[in-house]
Amino acid sequence: MTSTTAFEEQLAHLTRVVDDLSDVIARQDGEITRLTKRLDLIMQREAEREYASGDQVPLSDQRPPHW
């Protein structure tokens, strides 16, 4: 019986760990999605600002210096 109890305790512990990790992954997925949207918006605004200034070719359209 002792081994059954130990097995049940270990199973309960592992189930809890999996649930906790699942919660962390779900939270991180939401955060990554939100940050990606913010970054896209920032990049779009910066490209529009560079284009509106007319001084130079927007950085997104420039070749890297090693080319």
User: If you write DSSP's letter for every residue of 28-45 in order, what string do you get?
Assistant: HHHHHHHHHHHHHHHHHH
29: amino acid identity, one letter: D
Rounded average pLDDT over 47-64: 72
pLDDT at 46 over 80: yes
CA dihedral in degrees (33, 39, 44, 48; nearest 10)? Answer: 160
pLDDT, residue 23, reads 98
Q: What is the pLDDT of residue 47?
A: 86
| pLDDT at 1 > cutoff 60 | no
State pLDDT tens for residues 6-25: 999 999 999 999 999 999 99
| pTM: predicted TM-score of the whole model, two decimal places | 0.64
